[in-house]
Amino acid sequence: MYAMQVKSLDGPRALERVDASPPKPARGEVVIEVAWAGCNFFDTLITRGRYQVRPELPFAPGAEVSGVVSAVGADARGFAVGDRVLGLLPYGGYATHVAVPASRAFAVPDEVPLDDACAMGIVYQTSYIALHERAGLRSGERLLVHAAAGGVGLAAVELGAAAGAEVIGTAGSERKLELARAHGATHALSYRDASWVDAVRALTGGRGADVIYDPVGGDTFDASTKCIAFGGRLLVIGFASGRIPTLEMNRVLLKNIAVVGTHWGAYFEHASEVPARAQRALFDLHRDGKIHPLIGARHPLVDAARALEALAGRETVGKVLLSPT
């Protein structure tokens, strides 16, 4: 087997192929022969030591894989060799074989292709948990999704539309705006036009958005507080802009808004039943044709550096996947 590892925190360009023996499952683990590994924005951060997870060098990035179980450890109940699974882990997924705790593995229904399963991992779980577990999104509400053509953003658009919300998406190009519309956004606005805040107010009859989904942070977060409805919920997903914003609490008080964080990875430590419940719901939505993961690019695993650099440069749409084969 081989893995793509960083030996220095110099970003994606530091990734290099390292040959090794396949892992053996510890108690409670399964080993997955990887068919697909997913790329996420935080993979670019972890290669620079700028993510909250800071593994010891050397390490492989990659927090989601799909494939087939090749070995089962003691007490890894519910799995057998040959099972199709989705595995979610803190890091280490950029490899041909990965050991994953059984609590972080999810059986993939036969009708779900393994590439779709991988694309429905972190970004869809993050968006599902944020919208349903954290914000309590209801049918008929107005949902504003920033970076609506990116990985988590496009998932949020689809899930919001599936929940019966009226979705407003923001993105930075006409191509990305059209993509958001194609996946369920009723309205799509360019965040490069400073009038998007006024446009949100106009589209909502002056009320503002009931739920705002923000993976961008920075100026986008600041402006979002100006177009959120009374009693609205502002979801903090991430800080792709690079600036972690602060908030004047009088805005929270005067509008009765809730600012709600969604740290997806923490659920495995504190409430592992939540990701399991979310993934079952996502596979059901996929079966019913209500979500359609967009795989924007596929690369060989050995080209992981190029894939991550394109992702960091906002050159991608939808999900970016890597294949060892």
How much of the chain, in percent, has pLDDT values that exceed 70? 100
pLDDT at 43 > cutoff 90 = yes
pLDDT digits (tens, 9 = 90+) for 10-37: 999 999 999 999 999 999 999 999 999 9
- Average pLDDT, integer, range 220-233: 97
Which CATH fold would you assign to the domain 123-265? Rossmann fold (3.40.50)
pLDDT at 318 over 90: no
* Least trusted range by pLDDT, from 247-251, 290-294, 319-323: 247-251
Asked if residue 41 has pLDDT above 90, the reply is: no
Structure confidence at residue 86 as a pLDDT band (50, 70, 90): very high
Q: Is the pLDDT of residue 315 over 90?
A: no
pLDDT digits (tens, 9 = 90+) for 157-214: 999 999 999 999 999 999 999 999 999 999 999 999 989 999 999 999 999 999 999 9
Claim: this prediction has a pTM higher than 0.95? no
**Within 10 A of 206 (CB to CB), how many other CB atoms are there?**
9
Sequence ranges of the domains in the chain: 2-120+293-323, 123-265
C-alpha to C-alpha distance for 316 and 304, rounded to whole angstroms: 14
Classify each residue of 97-129 as buried b or exposed e, where b means 16 or more C-beta atoms within 10 Å of its C-beta. bbbbbbebbbbbeeebbbbbbbbbbbbbbbbbb
Dump pLDDT digits (tens) for 242-271.
Answer: 899 999 899 899 999 999 999 998 999 899
Looking at residue 316, its pLDDT comes to 83
Q: Which of 141, 143, 146, 109 is nearest to 223 (CA)?
A: 146
Cα 77 to chain centroid, rounded: 27
Q: How confident is the model at residue 151 (pLDDT cuts 50, 70, 90)?
A: confident
Domain 2-120+293-323 CATH superfamily: Medium-chain alcohol dehydrogenases, catalytic domain (3.90.180.10)
pLDDT category, 63, cuts 50, 70, 90? very high
Note whether 180 and 169 are within 8 A (CB): yes
